[in-house]
Structure 1
Amino acid sequence: MTNQKLLLNDHLQNIYKQNAFVNLLEMKLIELEPGKAKLSMPVNKEIHTNLYKMVHGGALAALVDTAMGVACATTGKKVVTLDMNLNFIRGAESQQLLTGVGTLIHDGKQTMVAEAEVLDADNNLLVKARATFFVTGSFL
């Protein structure tokens, strides 16, 4: 990995460690590579669940949005979400550790497109998502 990519990865790790919403949902960046990001998020019943004690769809949406946004950011571009589509496949109960994996599928000058999946500890697919992002600038 080049020095610039290492510097960008360190920068992204620092940004997301300071992000209030990411911290509220207890998300952690696990792995970064160009065009791909892997995050974890526990399902804490006091934070992440709905009235059925299952993970709230909004928490899952936040995880895929963040995973896809970070995947875009690994290219050095700052982005905001223009639109996002989610398919909720399966529910998750509290105390599970979920993994969100975002993958860049289009790296344009003005827009980017990414996909993401959320998997549980048994590698079951919970959510499949796709989003379009608008490029607002660059990091570093």
Structure 2
Amino acid sequence: MTPTHEQLLARIAPDEVAFWRTLGIEVVGAEEGMARLRIPARPELETRRPDTLHGGVLASLIDAAGSAALLTTRAEDDETWAGFASTDLNVSYLAAATSDVTAEARVLRGGRTVVYTTVEVTDAAGTTVAVGRVTYMIVRRRQT
């Protein structure tokens, strides 16, 4: 059975991640294998250069979006699922982010133990400001 949009959003559950709340991450869209997250620009997230988001904010958004995309592919009836962890994060910064940013993440390939995602971050004008790849390890409960 294909999950509904509401079920996909419930899987992502942004309120369960305190760091996401700190950054102000909002979930703005989800489909199976894809998630779109947004961070509104604000002074607390800027670099020493006024009106420019810190690169760490973009890297965190890339990781969050990749994990959200991963969660949209999780089978609800998988009783061995115990969570996941980022094992590799690659970010290429392409332009300064001077406005709200939106990350669209897609699962490139998902297996039983490893999931690969790709993420594009755009600013309010639609300019690509960063791209990234994130690899996740799926943690499984031991079968007895």
Alignment TM-score, normalising by the size of structure 1:
0.86
Taking the TM superposition and a 5 Å limit, the aligned residue runs for 1:76-87 are 76=74, 78-87=83-92
Higher Cα Rg, which structure: 2
Question: 1:67-87: per-residue Cα shift (whole Å, max 9, x none)?
Answer: 001101101164210011110
User: Which residue of 2 is the match for residue 113 of structure 1?
Assistant: 116
Structure 2 partner of 1:99: 102
Aligned residues: 132
CA RMSD of aligned residues (A): 1.8
- Which consecutive residues of structure 2, in runs of 5 or more, have no partner in the other structure? 75-80
Instruction: Determine if the alignment matches structure 1 residue 44 to structure 2 residue 42.
Output: yes
2:30 to 29, 32, 41: 32
Say whether the 8 Å CA contact 1:36–1:101 is kept in structure 2: yes
Aligned-residue offset at 1:12: 2.3
> 2:132 and 2:38 mapped to 1: Cα distance?
16
Judged with a 3 Å threshold, the aligned counterparts in structure 2 of structure 1 residues 55 and 10 are, in CA distance, closer, same or farther, namely: closer
- CA offset at residue 18 of structure 1? 3.1
Encode CA deviations 1:39-62: one digit per residue, 9 max, x unaligned. Answer: 1111101x2111112110110001
Which runs of structure 1 show a deviation greater than 3 angstroms over 4 or more consecutive aligned residues?
Answer: none
CA distance in 1, matches of 2:121, 2:9: 24
- The Cα offsets for residues 89-115 of structure 1, whole Å up to 9 and x where unpaired, read as 00022xx22111110001111101000
Q: Structure 2 counterpart of 1:39, which letter?
A: L
Given that 1:81 and 1:131 are in contact with CA atoms closer than 8 Å, whether structure 2 keeps it comes out as yes
| Mapped contact 1:72–1:79 kept (Cα < 8 A) | no
Residue type of the partner of 1:12? R
Report the TM-score when normalising by structure 2.
Answer: 0.84
Which residue type is aligned with residue 102 of structure 2?
T
| Separation in 1, partners of 2:140, 2:37 | 23
| 1:42 partner letter | P
